[in-house]
Amino acid sequence: MLGRMDQVDRILAQWRAERPDLDVGPMGTLGRLNRLAQHLGHGMEKTFMAHGLNRASFDVLATLRRSGPPYALSPSALIEWTMVTSGTMTNRIDRLEAIGLVERRRNPEDGRGFLIGLTDTGHALIEKAVTEHVANQHRLTAALSDAERAALDTLLAKWLAAFEDDGPAAS
């Protein structure tokens, strides 16, 4: 503990006083993670908004960009990587296509199917946005030393593995 009580400490103290029979330790861990996720999400959303994006549109564009040339994936691959339903992905693609950031292309390997690819405008936008996103992530994690962040990454990876398969990772 850092010697300074946060809101979660105060909540835990109340529960310990009212229900000393309960081990509320996990409540502290999960409460802090939830509050931290809210702060981090808000901090990242600012960067997305500065580029006219939201988390969902950034996720699609970043997934296409990191896939490498030709920066195009099938809708099913996008769904797998972003872990959303087909209806949700269709809506995202439609919105991004309407503003000229992605386009539907015939799949050269399957004439019946199509790929979703970055347009030149979409590629230029995600290049700028991801550069600022990574810089922002450095700012958001600056309270931790490199060693602390590495230790936290190890612990979170262990914990996350208890819930997930070894599938594709999000952006």
Q: How far is CA 146 from CA 2, 152, 155, in A?
A: 19, 10, 14
For the segment 107-119, what is each residue's pLDDT rounded down to a tens digit?
888 878 899 999 9
Residue 24 confidence (pLDDT) above 80: yes
What would the two tokens of residue 114 be? 């199509």
Residue 26 confidence (pLDDT) above 90: yes
Query: What is residue 110's three-state secondary structure?
Result: strand
Is-above-0.85 flag for pTM? no
| Beta bridge pairs of residue 161 | none
In sign, the C-alpha dihedral spanning 51, 33, 38, 161 is: positive
**H/E stretch holding 104:** strand 102-107
Kindly state the average pLDDT of the residues 31-60: 96
Q: What is the CA radius of gyration of the chain?
A: 20
Residues in the chain: 171
Of the listed ranges 18-22, 43-47, 81-85, the one predicted with least confidence: 81-85
Domains of the chain (ranges, CATH numbers):
52-164 (1.10.10.10)
